[in-house]
Chain A
Amino acid sequence: MTTTAVTKPLEPRSPQGNSLTSGQLPRLFELYALIGSLVVVGGAFMLMGFNLIGDGLVGWLVVTAIVYLIAVGVFASIVENRRRATDRVVRGIVIVAFLLAFIPLVSTLGTVVVRGIGALNWNFISQSTGSHFDPSTLVVTTTQGALQSIVGTLEVTGIAALMSVPIGLLTAIYLVEYARPTQWMARTVTLLVDVMTGIPSIVAGLFAFSLFTIIVGPKAFSGFSASVALSVLMIPIVVRSSEEMLKLVSSELREASYALGVTKFATITRIVLPTAVAGLVTGIMLAIARIIGETAPIFIAASFTNDLNTNPFNGPISTLAVGAYTLYKFPGTDIPASVNAAWGNALLLVILVVILNLIARIVARVFAPKGLR
């Protein structure tokens, strides 16, 4: 079994060449096995009358994966040894699992892009939804727009972030820099943050809605109310991620700073936070990306509207996620146009998240500790 291509000894030590390379399958064995399984299973499926590109595609790929794993295991355990057989099979399983996880991601993104791209044009982005009454034909025509939702999303998410980031970051600083882990206060805060992480978003929405109903009175819909609901969801995420990032800052740096006679405050603001800034920004952006797509709490706390409402403290406000939901669930007279606009809203939301992520990466890169890149 001397099949490796690299073996080219100047003086063959034995008739078989390098004895260390004997008993191995060819270097591209796994590729051959994959092609072989595809062909064999595909042939069998065609004989059974399945259409490989249409209905039979999923079954073909699934059975191919199973046949491939079995074939690799059997061949490798015959030719090689148990360890290598296990290695090849497990590696195959890992790749299959990766592909399985990858499919829904690509599929969702692809569907949103394909369906939403048709709705996107400059008018859709720059105008809010409006209706136009034609007196001669007595027909009301509705033009779909997303401006009210874009503005609403930025307002609601922005205010939520403005409230959550300071609270979350300061809590994390307290937990890491000031509290001792055994202290009851620190343990209570950690427990509450853990519990808050698990709050269903609808509960946060109900909380904010009832709170503002008590304060303002009935029909207390406002963007700010929605922001409060989102803060409830965002604060624990920010606390958790910031806490982990601050813990990663080596205590040696803190000691070095203290040993120079630097105060604790200056040590935290000038040494610890700058060192951790890249991770902090990433964590905050993930938290924003998590809440920007929330629908239920905003729907409850801010209701929805077709009109542009730039005042977050008064009246219903629309966001992209709520817009997508309401357009799909409660379409106007022109149902296809509404559904089309719903996909447009969804695509805009995805684009917004991507833009925010890019900004965060640039910010993190600019502030990251130098010399570690």
Chain B
Amino acid sequence: MSKRIEVNDLNVYYSDFLAVEGVSITIEPRTVTALIGPSGCGKSTFLRTLNRMHEVIPGGHVKGEVIIDGNDLYAPGVDPVLVRRQVGMVFQRANPFPTMSIADNVLAGVRLNNRRMSKSDGEELIEKSLKGANLWNEVKDRLSLPGSGLSGGQQQRLCIARAIAVSPDVLLMDEPCSALDPISTLAIEDLIEELKQEYTIVIVTHNMQQASRVSDKTAFFNIAGAGKPGKLIEYDDTTTMFSRPNVQATEDYVSGKFG
């Protein structure tokens, strides 16, 4: 299921503006990789290049390679839609589809891709995905109610269930807990720990405690100044990054001296 991601010398542009420069990183399967760094340093932008979501913004393009399981995502002729079916994404703000019930939200990815599915298969997938997102027990009696009626943390877990329902290989999370209270955050962190068994997970977070709690590896991004491109400063095991990093900037950041 889960796959290795190799990024070689990736430059990310918005029109002519170079947003992220020269990122090379290898992400192992079945690990959690945290991207940390100050605001505007390009970690979300970089995350979005891993499933070609940054192209949704007009003018967004890249130079370089992102190789998942031997296939370059940016080779000519690659359909971004197919890439996104392999690499799922969870956003900062929970965004369940307001026109759909909880059950329909989970099946949205499958249904909207015009895959036919029998009713029993659908119910099975709903239960499996919601259990996978630790939400089943809370919503099993009200699957036909609108997803927007859930609490913020439940909505975020519904979005995770929706993302894993299309059985991706990789799961990207863009600050999934930044709008949530500590209890909901804990629920999501526990969930990340479980999802790690099956998926390769890349998570952007502003919360360094969270990075040290959930991740195996940590990548620190930084920016030299406004208008300059963001760069990958250091990438190592999380324990190393938080105890004795090689670069001074990393140590300053994780110890709270700036940022």
Q: Show the binding face of A for B, using Cβ within 8 Å.
A: 180, 250, 252-263, 266-267, 270-271, 274-275, 369-372
Contact A275–B91 (Cβ < 8 Å)? no
Known: A256-B159, A260-B88. A371 touches B149 (CB 8 A): yes
For residue B259, CB closer than 8 A to chain A, the reply is no
Residues of A within 8 A of B82 (CB): 261
Known: A270-B112, A271-B112. A261 touches B166 (CB 8 A): yes
Residues of B within 8 A of A270 (CB): 111-112
Residues of A within 8 A of B58 (CB): 180
A371 to B147, CA, bound (A): 8
Contact A256–B95 (Cβ < 8 Å)? yes
Residues of A within 8 A of B147 (CB): 371
Residues of B within 8 A of A255 (CB): 53, 56, 91, 95
Known: A259-B53, A369-B148, A371-B145. A274 touches B99 (CB 8 A): yes
Residue of B nearest to A183 (CB): B58
A225 to B146, CA, bound (A): 46
Residue of B nearest to A367 (CB): B99
Contact B95–A258 (Cβ < 8 Å)? no
For residue B113, CB closer than 8 A to chain A, the reply is yes
A114 → chain B closest CB, angstroms:
44
Residues of B within 8 A of A372 (CB): 98, 148
A262 to B97, CA, bound (A): 13
Contact A259–B146 (Cβ < 8 Å)? no
Contact B95–A262 (Cβ < 8 Å)? no
A-B contact pairs, 6 of them (CB 8 A): A254-B56, A260-B162, A261-B166, A262-B81, A262-B108, A266-B112
For residue B51, CB closer than 8 A to chain A, the reply is yes
A196 to B81, CA, bound (A): 38
Contact A370–B112 (Cβ < 8 Å)? no
Contact A267–B112 (Cβ < 8 Å)? yes
Residue of A nearest to B144 (CB): A370
From B81, B111, B163, A263 is in contact (CB under 8 Å) with: B81
A372 to B166, CA, bound (A): 27
Please give me the 6 A-B residue pairs with the lowest Cβ-Cβ distance, nearest first.
A371-B146, A261-B85, A260-B109, A369-B98, A259-B89, A261-B84
Given contacts A260-B85, A261-B81, 12 further A-B contacts (CB under 8 A): A253-B98, A255-B91, A259-B88, A260-B112, A261-B109, A261-B166, A262-B81, A266-B112, A275-B99, A370-B98, A371-B147, A372-B148
A275 to B58, CA, bound (A): 23
Residue of A nearest to B86 (CB): A261
A267 to B149, CA, bound (A): 22
For residue B196, CB closer than 8 A to chain A, the reply is no
A267 to B109, CA, bound (A): 10
A263 to B91, CA, bound (A): 19
For residue B2, CB closer than 8 A to chain A, the reply is no
Contact A275–B112 (Cβ < 8 Å)? no
Known: A252-B93, A266-B114. A260 touches B98 (CB 8 A): no
Residues of A within 8 A of B114 (CB): 266
Residues of A within 8 A of B31 (CB): none
Residues of A within 8 A of B49 (CB): none
For residue B238, CB closer than 8 A to chain A, the reply is no
Residues of A within 8 A of B81 (CB): 261-263
Residue of A nearest to B149 (CB): A371
A274 to B88, CA, bound (A): 23
Residue of B nearest to A257 (CB): B112
Residue of B nearest to A271 (CB): B97
From A254, A262, A274, A369, B109 is in contact (CB under 8 Å) with: A262
Known: A371-B145, A371-B149, A372-B148. A259 touches B84 (CB 8 A): yes
Contact bitstring B90-102, A, C-beta under 8 A = 1, else 0: 0101010111010
Contact B95–A252 (Cβ < 8 Å)? yes
A254 to B86, CA, bound (A): 18
Residue of A nearest to B82 (CB): A261
A256 to B148, CA, bound (A): 14
Residue of A nearest to B147 (CB): A371
Contact A266–B113 (Cβ < 8 Å)? yes
A180 to B58, CA, bound (A): 8
Contact B112–A262 (Cβ < 8 Å)? yes
A275 to B51, CA, bound (A): 25
Within 8 A of A (CB), among B134-162: 145-149, 159, 162
A262 to B82, CA, bound (A): 9
A257 to B83, CA, bound (A): 13
Contact B145–A259 (Cβ < 8 Å)? no
Contact A259–B148 (Cβ < 8 Å)? no
Contact A253–B53 (Cβ < 8 Å)? no
Residues of B within 8 A of A262 (CB): 81, 108-109, 112-113
Residue of A nearest to B89 (CB): A259
Contact A371–B148 (Cβ < 8 Å)? yes
Residues of B within 8 A of A180 (CB): 58
